[in-house]
Chains A and B, each alone.
Chain A
Amino acid sequence: MQVTKGVVKALVGNHAVAYAVKQAKPQVLAVYPITPQTTMLEKLSEYVDRGELKARLIRVESEHSALASIYGAAVAGARVFTATASQGLLYMTEMLYWAGGQRVPIVAAVATRALASPWSILDDHQDFMSKRDAIWIQMMAENVQEAYDLTIQAFRISEHENVVLPVMMGFDGFILTHTMERVEVLHDSVVDSFIPPRKFNLVDFTDPVGVGPVAPPEDYIRMRFEAKKAMERSKRVIKEIFREYEDISGRPQHGLVECFMCRDADYVVVSMGAWSGDARVAVERLRERGAKVGLLKVRVFRPFPFEEVRDYLRDCKGVLVMDRAYSFGSGGILANEVKVSLYGHNVPVHSLVGGLGGMDVRPLHIQTALENLMEGKLEEERWLL
């Protein structure tokens, strides 16, 4: 396929995602403000007001209603979008499960933020990670460019006939949402051909059906089983769509995970989200000193890329998993997934928990943890306090 050079813009994360949404041409948007996502929906309101985006904008009274309203629109055949964060995502949770179980194609952006109590508006991944069982595909961006790219891809993935699942695109609150970066945006015509109009409805108005019906146990468990299979099928679809996007954008999209200097590495950091950038710096510094270290960045968290993680990590001498969210009484959430991936392989997995409630984590923190890991001095779980 022909690569057309995109247009370079300077955009904050929220505006980059809003721009991607505008190009994806959703027909119905539900807007409800919550820090740090608000400026994205403000931008989308502006687009609608100026007539640049022909969409129905519903000003709802809560996040629960936000998802409920676009759920209805999506069932009727519209392409839909909303965004939220933190407590808003928690309030939306009931509808998240309705949408996931009903297999409604929806795209939602989550500007990740800490959860109360205590109150915090700053970044961590607790809100996003707590929704891992809601039957939503979950992807997470490292920088503003990736947030833009993943948003465009999310619409394609969600509406793919072998998937038909809602997609959540997470990107770090403030660290990405309010930081201006260089972003290369695609031409509208390129996006148009990448995401054609939606081809199907869940309902046919000439042949009425009940949506979200009561299901007896034998039907219920079968539908859950089908949802599980759809999640598994989606891995292949996501990789295909990433590859196709690579062709039109000219930017590498890697796959469900991105391997940075990890192929020959003895020690690998596994991370997700914006601080993967800091991990890159730490890895580069240690490589300059001759240490064989690498980074494995998880781009898609649900479905979890067990095979890829296993393939990259099974011959490592040690793995350091960075978690910005914690399952209390269990452990770092990403660390647990990595441990599951490596079941049966003798690879020590260490967990580094930090950044909760916006706590600053710098490359040096990661570098020190990696050095400790190589010296055999790292605890199984370390909190960066």
Chain B
Amino acid sequence: MINLPPGVPLARPSLGSSGQTGTWRVLRPVIHYDKCTKCRLCFFYCVENTIDLEPNMFPKIDYQYCKGCGVCAQVCPTAAIEMMREVK
């Protein structure tokens, strides 16, 4: 193997290396766990992979990276996810 010349655009993945996208959010998805049926649709649909599953299979949103797109609220069959205005 040779050493690559300088200036080849390659990036090493690291958490938050492109910024913490959670700051982009205008609307914040909030899960009402009393309505949640653990169907996991929000987990599968989240375009940014910011929804993780807890050991008890309830979804949990990573607000550091969630951009607030609202796809999870749209696909939730029991309307358990509410988009709430971010208040500072």
Contact = CB atoms under 8 A, between A and B. Distances in A.
A202 B5 contact: no
Contacts of A202: 4, 8, 10
Contact of B4 (A200, A212, A215, A219): A200
A208 B13 CA distance: 8
Nearest to A230: B5
Contacts of B9: 101-103, 211-213, 215, 219, 223
A199 B7 contact: no
A57 to B, nearest CB: 28
Nearest to A222: B7
A30 B38 CA distance: 46
A239 to B, nearest CB: 18
A227 B7 CA distance: 7
B12 A226 contact: no
Nearest to B8: A103
Contacts of A219: 9
Nearest to A164: B5
B1 A199 contact: yes
Given A209-B12, A210-B12, A161 B2 contact: yes
Contact of B7 (A200, A203, A223): A223
A225 interface: yes
Interface residues of A, number: 28
A237 B59 CA distance: 57
Contacts of B12: 209-210
A162 interface: yes
Contacts of B7: 103, 222-223, 225-227, 229-230
B2 A103 contact: no
A385 interface: no
A226 B5 CA distance: 9
A210 B17 CA distance: 11
Contacts of B2: 161, 199-200
Interface of A: 101-103, 161-164, 199-203, 208-215, 219, 222-223, 225-227, 229-230
Given A103-B4, A161-B2, A202-B10, 15 more contacts: A102-B8, A163-B5, A199-B2, A200-B1, A200-B4, A201-B1, A203-B10, A208-B13, A211-B10, A212-B9, A214-B11, A223-B8, A223-B9, A225-B7, A227-B7
